[in-house]
Amino acid sequence: MQVKYNGLKEERWLWQVSVVSFILAALTGLVYRLGLIGWLPEWGLSLGNIRHAHSHLMFFGWAVPLPLYIMRSQIMSVSGRQERGTPWMKYALFGTLFFGMASYPFFLIFGYRPVAIGTLSLPLSVILSGMVMICWYIFMGGYLKRRSLLDGEPCQSWFDSAQILLLISSLGAWSVAVVQALAPNNHLLMKGMTHFFLAAFTEGWIVLALLAILVAKFSIGQKNWPISHHVSLGCIAIGAPLTFPYGISESLLSPTLLWTARLGGLLAAFGLFQALYVIISSSPWKKSPWVWPVALLALKALMQMGASFIPSSFLFSDHALRIFYLHVLLLGAFTLTMTGWLSVKASIPGRYFSGIAVTVLLMLLSLLPLTSFWPVRWSGPWVFYAAAATALLPALAVTAQWIKIIQIEKNPNPHYDA
């Protein structure tokens, strides 16, 4: 069933705070890149803490709340009224955004270090991050109460799987604290749990949430799948967490862990390719804005599959390549899906989304010269200046879209579908 949304007036502050989180995180990324070229303002901030603040706000303020908001909106649009359980989802979204934003200054100033409060020394950034994850659980509880409203909807199993991977990723994050308390000198286990969280989050939750939104948008039912969609779901859900060894230093890896990561990457890439094949063959995806998220997800899957075959010495020596890969997924596919959804739901002119797409692609291109794929003879200091210059552009483009959506809500214009 094709679900028609009725604007973004329902709890508009929820999606707007998420958009503000993206803008603030993007500007923090700009400050980080300015620091790399020696232009960091004299604020007494370390590059490491700036990077932590950037990544955590992107995760907690942007990469989780807006997909959860969309899932709740889907339930609301099917039921047509405030159902039991949906208020808990709203409160959980508020808590996620509140604690995510509250943790930002502590990550920025202190990183993971404890903060002295009277006679106590508390790791406030870690505590607030833990509160964010508790809010995820509250949302999941509310979702379970109203999940039956999605019976028969193509997106139901995708919503389920995405939240399961979010739950699994959170267990990895809690495990880091346990390891710190019980085995602080076990660096392999510490690194492993950290990257288990990151792998389950980025390769699992993010990918499945994106596919869930695309499946819901195009009403892709079982009849569209030549092989059951559960194959795609299973490959991604099983393979994503297994890729965690890619984030561990090569010196700490055993051959078994490396082959585990390669197998997990192959499984996840196969599942994603299957889903993209169905989306491409059965949906009007070529109509903007969906062409860019689909294309970047395909690029992500291709890179992930390639990582299962390239030599490990190359794979682990090029950190810039991993940064490019993560930005293809998070800044590229994810951000363009979210802003595309906002653009379509608010019925604003397509040029605002096009502006976001252009700035995102420019930033992704600016990251390529930092990788080992770029010819050395074409490199130089300019590559760092280019990366810093383009870092501002997505924040400006998303701000312009946000302002336009607010204007459209106040003074509705004719429908601009995409």
Residues 108 and 7 in one domain: yes
Q: Tell whether 416 is covered by a domain.
A: no
For residue 57, count other CB atoms closer than 10 A to its CB: 24
Q: Does a cis peptide bond (omega within 30 degrees of 0) precede residue 289?
A: yes
The torsion of the CA quartet 79, 404, 15, 147, rounded to 10 degrees, works out to 20
Co-location of 5 and 64 in the same domain: yes
CA distance 297 to 311: 23
Q: In the structure, what pLDDT confidence band is assigned to residue 186 with cuts at 50, 70 and 90?
A: confident
For all residues of the chain together, what is the average pLDDT? 90
What would the mean pLDDT of 304-326 be, rounded to a whole number?
84
Query: Is 298 inside a domain boundary?
Result: yes
Do residues 142 and 258 share a domain? no
How many Cα atoms within 13 Å fall on the side-chain side of residue 233? 20
The confidence score (pLDDT) of residue 319 equals 86
pLDDT of residue 311: 79
Does 318 have pLDDT greater than 50? yes
Is it the case that residue 190 has pLDDT exceeding 90?
no
Q: Are residues 330 and 404 in the same domain?
A: yes
Quick one: pLDDT band at residue 310, thresholds 50, 70, 90?
confident
32 has a pLDDT exceeding 90? yes
The candidate with the shortest Cα–Cα distance to 341, out of 273, 398, 407, is: 398
User: Is 101 in the same domain as 215?
Assistant: no
Mean pLDDT, rounded, for 108-128? 90
pLDDT at 6 over 60: no
| Single-letter amino acid, residue 229 | H
Please count the other Cβ atoms lying within 10 Å of the Cβ belonging to residue 85.
17
114-128, 177-191, 286-300, 324-338: least confidently modelled range: 177-191
pLDDT-wise least confident of 232-236, 283-287, 368-372: 283-287
Mean pLDDT of 189-202: 92
28 compared with 247, residue with greater pLDDT: 28
| pLDDT greater than 80 at residue 415 | no
User: Which amino acid, residue 329?
Assistant: L
Structure tokens at 340: 């595309």
**Mean pLDDT lowest among 2-11, 176-185, 224-233:** 2-11
Lowest mean pLDDT among 249-253, 306-310, 409-413: 409-413
Q: Looking at the 3D structure of the chain, how many domains does it have? A: 3
Band of residue 339 on the pLDDT scale cut at 50, 70, 90: very high
Q: What is the mean pLDDT of residues 78-83?
A: 64
Q: Where do runs of H (alpha helix) occur along 184-224? A: 187-199, 207-218
Q: Are 417 and 350 in contact (CB under 8 A)?
A: no
Overall average pLDDT of the 158-170 stretch: 97
236 domain residue, yes or no? yes
Domain boundary among 102, 120, 151: 151
Model confidence at 411, pLDDT cuts 50, 70, 90, reads confident
Kindly state whether residues 164 and 306 are assigned to the same domain: yes
**What distance in Å separates the CA atoms of residue 322 and residue 317, rounded to the nearest whole number?**
10
Secondary element (H or E) of residue 234: helix 229-242
Q: Does the pLDDT value for residue 10 go beyond 90?
A: no
pLDDT at 2 over 90: no
Strand, helix or coil for residue 121: strand
Same-domain pairing of 359 and 338: yes
Whether 61 is in a domain gets the answer yes
Instruction: Say if residue 18's pLDDT is above 60.
Output: yes
Q: What confidence category does residue 285 fall into, taking pLDDT thresholds of 50, 70 and 90?
A: low
Residue 264 burial (10 A CB sphere; 0-12, 13-18, 19+): buried
Q: Does 417 reside within a domain?
A: no
Nearest Cα to Cα of residue 383 among 28, 3, 37: 37
Band of residue 213 on the pLDDT scale cut at 50, 70, 90: very high
pTM, rounded to two decimals: 0.93
Residues 272 and 229 in one domain: yes
pLDDT-derived band at 412 (thresholds 50, 70, 90) equals low
Burial 161-180 (b: 16+ CB within 10 A, else e): bbbbbbbbbbebbebbeebe
User: Any idea of the CA torsion for 166, 172, 176, 177, to the nearest 10 degrees?
Assistant: 60
CB burial of residue 349 (10 Å; 0-12, 13-18, 19+)? middle
Domain span holding position 401: 318-411
Question: Which domain-ending residue is among 151, 186, 212?
Answer: 151
23 Rama class: left (phi>0) / alpha (psi -120 to 50) / beta: alpha
Query: Which residues, 6+ apart, have CB-to-CB distance to 239 below 8 Å?
Result: 203, 263, 264, 265, 266, 267, 268, 269, 270, 271
The least confident of 4-8, 141-145, 282-286 is 4-8
Confidence category of residue 253, pLDDT binned at 50, 70, 90: confident
| Listed residue (253, 242, 247, 337) closest to 296, CA to CA | 337
Q: Looking at the structure, do residues 10 and 34 belong to the same domain, yes or no?
A: yes
66 vs 214: CA distance, rounded Å = 14
- DSSP-derived 3-state class of residue 37: coil
Q: Provide the pLDDT for residue 167.
A: 98
Cβ–Cβ < 8 Å for 346, 405: yes
From 133, 151, 169, give the residue that closes a domain.
151
pLDDT the model gives residue 418: 47
- Please tell me the least confidently modeled range out of 20-24, 108-112, 217-221, 263-267: 217-221
